[in-house]
Amino acid sequence: MKLNISSASEEPIYEQIKNQIRSAIVSGELQVGDALPSLRKLAGELHISVLTVTRAYNDLADEGLVKNIQGKGAFVMEHGNELIRERASERIMDKFREASIEAKASGISLLDLLGMFEKAYREQS
Q: Are the C-beta atoms of residues 96 and 120 closer than 8 Å to each other?
A: no
> What's the one-letter identity of residue 107?
G
- Specify if 33 maps to a domain: yes
Q: 92 and 62, same structural domain?
A: no
- Specify if 4 maps to a domain: no
Q: 86 and 70, same structural domain?
A: no
Tens-binned pLDDT, residue by residue, of the chain (125 aa): 889 999 899 999 999 999 999 989 878 899 999 999 999 999 999 999 999 999 999 999 998 889 999 999 999 988 766 777 777 788 899 999 999 999 999 999 999 999 999 999 999 86
CA–CA distance, 90 with 70 (Å, rounded to integer) = 31
Parent domain of 89: 81-123
Q: 67 and 98, same structural domain?
A: no
Neighbours of 36 (CB within 10 A): 23
CA–CA distance, 75 with 116 (Å, rounded to integer) = 40
Residue-level pLDDT at 39 = 95
CA–CA distance, 72 with 59 (Å, rounded to integer) = 18
Q: 70 and 91, same structural domain?
A: no
H helix intervals, the chain = 13-27, 39-46, 50-62, 80-106, 110-123
Q: 70 and 89, same structural domain?
A: no
pTM exceeds 0.85: no
Residue-level pLDDT at 26 = 79
DSSP run (H or E) holding 75: strand 73-76
